[in-house]
Amino acid sequence: MTIRIGIMGYGNLGRGVECALKHNPDMKLTAVFTRRDPETVKILTEGVKIYRAEEAASMAGEIDVLILCGGSATDLPVQTPEYAKYFNVVDSFDTHAKIPEHFAAVDQAARESGHVAVISAGWDPGMFSLSRVYGEAVLPDGANYTFWGKGVSQGHSDAIRRIKGVKDARQYTIPVESALEAIRSGETPEFTTRQMHTRECFVVAEEGADKEAIEREIVTMPNYFADYDTTVHFISEEEMKRDHSKLPHGGFVLRSGRTGWELEHKHIIEYSLKLDSNPEFTSSVIAACARAAFRMKNEGQTGCKTILDIPPAYLSAKSGEELRAHCL
């Protein structure tokens, strides 16, 4: 039985989900919902209709899982509990500090309506969370390290764009190679923020803007840049378009741990991602979680789940028999 998927919100992420569905033959795109005028939205899949967001609830019977592709700041805290009343849902809520609060709101809505809601699907939170939890579970004596990059951070790029005199900006988060090497060699250092990542910024300034002032404002910006070694490059609009239009990302999760009666043996677990497209990889994780949500619902489960609650086999299109015979 093909799993019928709806997409709520058609930006980078919604488009990524649409692409992922094309390559997962056990799922199909059934409807796209938008807050824009549906007439103005063009999607890639032929024969699929675009609806106004308000029409979603009335289509509950035609959609097995609704994927929420809004932002974590203002969209998802409202949308996920709301749509969990009508649908099994998946979101990619990624404000780490607010996950417990979001979980509680979504769990209540999903339990009351008898649906399954998977929140925080993606790679961090998501695949990286899995690595942190598996690493700690199998090596309880040890330390976890998470490095991001090299990749474009949307939040940091946006922060630069809000500076007066900045026309466009792209910020790359870059892990410090010597920090990675220290962990790989078996050390368990305690790093400062500055020792783990550097930040590289490419900025298109408006004509006549004070570049020194812009640079100063970037490198001293609290939370975003002040605690990092930050370099700023001013480039032209053409260079921005030519060299920085992609959204690569990735990173590393390492667990350094010890076993043995006197903890005499060292072990290093390393998980890394090298992604050409951050939104498309996130979307691919979301698609796999939609499959799991559908299965959990069919088993009679309800409530809010994260990827930590999902048996890995549920994410796979293969049956348990196939997995045991070919992947285990």
- Contact mark string toward a copy of itself, 133..172, x via CB under 8 A: xx-xxxxxx--x----------------------------
Cβ atoms of 90 and 118 closer than 8 Å: yes
Nearer to a copy of itself, 174 or 313 (CB): 313
Q: Give the shortest CB-137-to-a copy of itself separation in angstroms.
A: 4
Q: Give the shortest CB-214-to-a copy of itself separation in angstroms.
A: 32
Stretch that binds a copy of itself, among 29-37, 50-58, 187-195, 259-267 (CB under 8 A): 259-267
- Contact mark string toward a copy of itself, 30..69, x via CB under 8 A: --------------x-------------------------
Stretch that binds a copy of itself, among 82-90, 188-196, 232-240, 315-323 (CB under 8 A): 315-323
Secondary structure E strands in the chain: 3-8, 27-34, 49-52, 65-68, 88-90, 116-118, 142-148, 151-152, 166-175, 197-205, 229-234, 249-259, 265-275, 303-305
Distances in Å between the Cα of 33 and the Cα atoms of 2, 52, 56, 177 are 20, 5, 7, 43
**What is the DSSP code (8-state) at residue 189?**
P
Stretch that binds a copy of itself, among 48-56, 82-90, 208-216, 257-265 (CB under 8 A): 257-265
β-pair partners for 33: 8, 51
Stretch that binds a copy of itself, among 6-14, 154-162, 199-207, 302-310 (CB under 8 A): 302-310
Q: Which of 6, 12, 4, 3 is CA-nearest to residue 246? A: 12
- Counting every residue written for the chain, the total comes to 328
End-to-end CA distance of the chain: 25
Q: What six digits make up the tokens of 175?
A: 């892990």
Contact between 132 and a copy of itself per CB under 8 A: yes
Contact between 317 and a copy of itself per CB under 8 A: yes
Nearer to a copy of itself, 12 or 231 (CB): 12
The β-bridge relationship of strands 151-152 and 142-148 is unpaired
| Order of all β-strands in the sheet with 27-34 | 49-52, 27-34, 3-8, 65-68, 88-90, 116-118, 303-305
> Within 13 Å and on the Cβ side, how many CA atoms surround 247?
13
**What is the maximum span of the chain, computed from C-alpha positions, in angstroms?**
68
Q: Give the shortest CB-201-to-a copy of itself separation in angstroms.
A: 24
Stretch that binds a copy of itself, among 50-58, 167-175, 222-230, 301-309 (CB under 8 A): 301-309
Q: What six digits make up the tokens of 32?
A: 């796209």
Nearer to a copy of itself, 35 or 258 (CB): 258
Nearer to a copy of itself, 56 or 290 (CB): 290
Contact between 187 and a copy of itself per CB under 8 A: no
Stretch that binds a copy of itself, among 82-90, 120-128, 188-196, 212-220 (CB under 8 A): 120-128
For a copy of itself, the binding residues in 227-256 under the rule CB under 8 A are none
Q: Give the shortest CB-164-to-a copy of itself separation in angstroms.
A: 35
